[in-house]
């Protein structure tokens, strides 16, 4: 398998699926729908829907996956729209383009984020009745909502915002909680929804731990790039953590130790996925792709 070609093909396929599930034009909601599409289609790796489909294939599944692929990218995009707002990180560039609040104004950016979150759930609900395995479909829906909500991504963001508002430094344990929920939760949801929709609850339990390891490693790389990268390479302003007075794992561990821990976590995530049984060549191919994808995240520059 040529990993780069496989990644490009899977990313292109995910991009087409996400675009197909975006809301149709409507006269009075034109601006918010346009802002929603701008936010989702402004670029990005489509990492979460790509991972979800590969996890589903690895576990022997095929159907019911597309609405979830679109939904998780909408949820991810809404979180970025709100994260970029002046009340949060106050970033003006995202993927080399003006952030949604710069392009459409703060009020419309809030509405676009709200619209994406709600439309994500509307999307998966719309196709629930047609699902072959309704129990598995509902289980995946519940997991997606949980990992995106107060016991997942929103919960992590909450502690992050409170620490910044009170101008207090998070402890190392609190910072890990933020990373686990703000970043890892949606990666866990991507992998676990894929397994649930394939009817493999046992694999989903393994993938939850793999998603945790990947999420922490992924956030560590973000912290590293915020120091070592450039605005041109990263597609958004660098140095924002230091500028905003944010404590990161690099602050606690130092650069060398942070890089070493990131590599160790990535390797552990790959090892966990390698343990999952596959029954045919197609499943094995998906597993090998997932393992390569996680490994490649260690060296990403964007």
Domain boundaries, given as residue ranges, for the chain: 3-297
The number of residues in the chain equals: 302
Q: What is the pLDDT of residue 244?
A: 59
Give the CB-side neighbour count of residue 201, counting CA atoms within 13 A: 5
Q: What pLDDT shows up at residue 93? A: 86
pLDDT for position 37: 97
Q: Which two tokens stand for residue 96?
A: 């080399």
Q: What is the pTM of this model?
A: 0.91
**DSSP-assigned states of every residue in 6-53:** HHHHHHHHHHHHHHHTSPPP-STTHHHHHHHHHHHSS----HHHHHHH
CATH architecture, range 3-297: Orthogonal Bundle (1.10)
Taking the alpha carbons at both ends of the chain, their separation in whole angstroms is: 24
**Residue 62 CB neighbours (<10 A):** 12
Mean pLDDT (10-residue bins), the chain, 302 residues: 94 97 94 97 93 97 92 98 92 89 96 98 94 94 98 94 80 92 96 97 97 94 79 58 69 87 92 95 96 84 66
Q: For residue 65, which phi and psi values (nearest 5 degrees)?
A: -90, -30
Q: Which tokens in the block code for residue 80?
A: 């970025």
What confidence score (pLDDT) does residue 233 get? 59
Strand partners, 97: 94
- Which residues have a Cβ under 8 Å from the Cβ of 261 and sit 6 or more positions away? 217, 220, 249, 253
pLDDT at 168: 75
Instruction: Give residue 240's pLDDT.
Output: 60
């Amino acid at each position: 398998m040529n990993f780069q070609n496989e990644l490009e093909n899977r990313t292109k396929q995910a991009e087409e699926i996400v675009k197909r599930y975006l809301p149709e034009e409507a006269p009075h909601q034109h601006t918010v729908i346009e802002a929603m599409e701008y936010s989702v289609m402004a670029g990005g790796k489509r990492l979460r829907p790509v991972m979800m489909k590969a996890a589903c294939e690895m576990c022997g599944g095929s159907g019911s996956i597309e609405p979830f692929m679109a939904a998780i990218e909408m949820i991810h995009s809404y979180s970025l729209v709100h994260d970029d707002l002046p009340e949060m990180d106050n970033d003006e560039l995202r993927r080399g383009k003006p952030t949604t609040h710069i392009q459409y104004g703060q009020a419309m950016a809030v509405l676009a984020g709200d619209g994406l979150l709600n439309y994500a759930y509307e999307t998966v609900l719309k196709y629930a009745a047609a699902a072959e395995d309704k129990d598995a479909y509902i289980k995946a829906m519940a997991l997606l909502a949980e990992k995106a909500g107060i016991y997942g991504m929103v919960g992590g963001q909450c502690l992050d915002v409170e620490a910044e508002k009170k101008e207090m430094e998070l402890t190392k344990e609190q910072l890990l909680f933020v990373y686990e929920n703000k970043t890892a939760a949606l990666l866990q949801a991507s992998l676990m929804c894929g397994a649930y929709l394939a009817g493999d609850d046992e694999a989903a339990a393994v993938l939850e731990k793999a998603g945790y390891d990947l999420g922490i490693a992924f956030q560590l790389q973000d912290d590293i790039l915020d120091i070592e990268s450039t605005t041109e390479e990263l597609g958004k302003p660098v140095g924002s953590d230091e500028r905003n007075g944010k404590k990161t794992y690099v602050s606690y561990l130092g650069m060398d130790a942070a890089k070493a821990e990131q590599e160790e976590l990535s390797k552990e995530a790959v090892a966990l996925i390698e343990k999952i049984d596959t029954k045919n060549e197609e499943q094995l191919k998906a597993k090998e792709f997932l393992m390569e994808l996680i490994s490649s995240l260690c060296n990403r520059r964007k």
